[in-house]
Structures are given as C-alpha cells and as structure tokens.
Amino acid sequence: MTTDPLSAVVTALEREQIIPDVITEAFTPSVLFTIIYPTGKEGLLSSELTREEAFDEPEINFTPMQNNISSDGEPTYTLVMVDPDAPSRAEPKFKHFRHWVITGVKSPVESASEVTNLTGIKTKLSTTPYRPPGPPPGTGLHRYTFLLFEEPPSFSIPQGAVEYGAELEQRRSWNPIEFGKKYGLKLVGVNYFLVRSTE
C-alpha cells in the first residue's frame, strides 16, 4: 500500500508536534519540497543533520506535481526557516527564532517527465539572511522548520519591516503564521529536519 506523500507530510508534522507547535491542525499541504545543502545533505522530514552539514544557505528542490501551476500562472513563493525550540524545546521563550526569509522563489517549468526534482530559482536576495542552526549546548534536538508560502500578485516586504532585522536579538520571537496573514500569503508546504545540540 502506497502512502499519499502529502498525507505523509502531515503525519510527520504531527509526530514531531510541529502541528500544533508551529502550524495548526487545519494545514493541508499542496506542494512538496526538500532542502538541499551545498554539502550534499538533504533536509527531509525527520532527518537529523549536523550544524556543519547545514552551515551554508541551501537550495530548494520542488517535487513535480500536477497542481504546481496555479490558475494565475506560475506562482512565486516565500520560504522561511524557523526554530520553534529556541533556546530549547523545554523552554522555548524565544520561539520562533527566524533563521531565514527569502521571497520571489520560483519553481522551474518541468521540461521532461523523468525529472524528479526541480531546483527553485531565487529571484531576490534574502530578506532575512540565512543563519545556520546553532542549538545551545545541552538543549537537545531542535526542529528546524521550513514553511513555504505562495505569494499574492506584486508581493513585496516593505523596507523597514522586522523581517530585515538580521541581528540575533531581532530574529527572536517571530511568528511565521502571523507574518503570512499580514501579507496575504498562503501556506502550501512545510518541511523540517533535526539538529542535536552538543552536550
């Protein structure tokens, strides 16, 4: 029996309690994607990476699906990376720590039926520069969560918005769901991986 890949995403999110810690139970994914690091390591549901393996800004790989093209044509996406376990899962007083925000990501047009992954095209610089995982010593596993939002037409984050804040203190206690609501973004995909702190 083959498991529906979209249902498998929800199951994994519930198992790791990303539902409800980051997103609500009402979430239904419609886009599948993975995160690929320059080290060759892939951020998949439940996979465990080291800080070194996830040190540099990754690429986004889309899994081709029939519904990837919206009625308005080729969609663009905003991808955010957060840590809901900042500084620890037991005491997440700084959740959600904003590691990365990038807008204007496009899924390339599928050119051949044998293509299994499509690397996302980054059309803009990061709004929040990528900051690699850095779980404090002794805080256990951290769930580094990626949320993919479909953008409305002519979307942009205005200069001066909090998402441009790159300093450590400016990244703390950020709510990705409220961010999405504020700008009319539609959550279409979620992925995550785990990084274990040093003891």
**Run means of pLDDT, 10 residues per run, the chain, 199 residues:** 81 96 94 96 93 97 68 84 97 97 89 68 97 96 98 96 97 98 98 93
pLDDT at 1: 45
Cβ atoms of residues 33 and 178 within 8 Å: no
Report the CATH number that the domain containing residue 161 is assigned in CATH.
3.90.280.10
Count of beta carbons in the 10 Å neighbourhood of residue 182:
11
State the Cα–Cα distance between residues 3 and 11, nearest whole angstrom: 11
Tokens of 80: 């955010």
pLDDT at 49: 97
State the Cα–Cα distance between residues 15 and 35, nearest whole angstrom: 20
pLDDT at 2: 52
pTM score of the predicted model: 0.93
Residues of the domain holding 108: 5-196
Sequence length of the chain is 199
- Tally the domains of the chain: 1
pLDDT at 46: 85
For residue 10, give every residue at least 6 positions away whose Cβ sits within 8 Å of its Cβ, in sequence order, or none: 19, 27, 28, 29
DSSP β-bridge partners for residue 196: 141
pLDDT at 71: 46
Which backbone phi and psi does 66 adopt, to 5 degrees? -65, -25
CA 148, chain centre distance (Å)? 6
For residue 89, give every residue at least 6 positions away whose Cβ sits within 8 Å of its Cβ, in sequence order, or none: 139, 140, 141, 142, 143
pLDDT at 125: 97
State the Cα–Cα distance between residues 147 and 162, nearest whole angstrom: 18
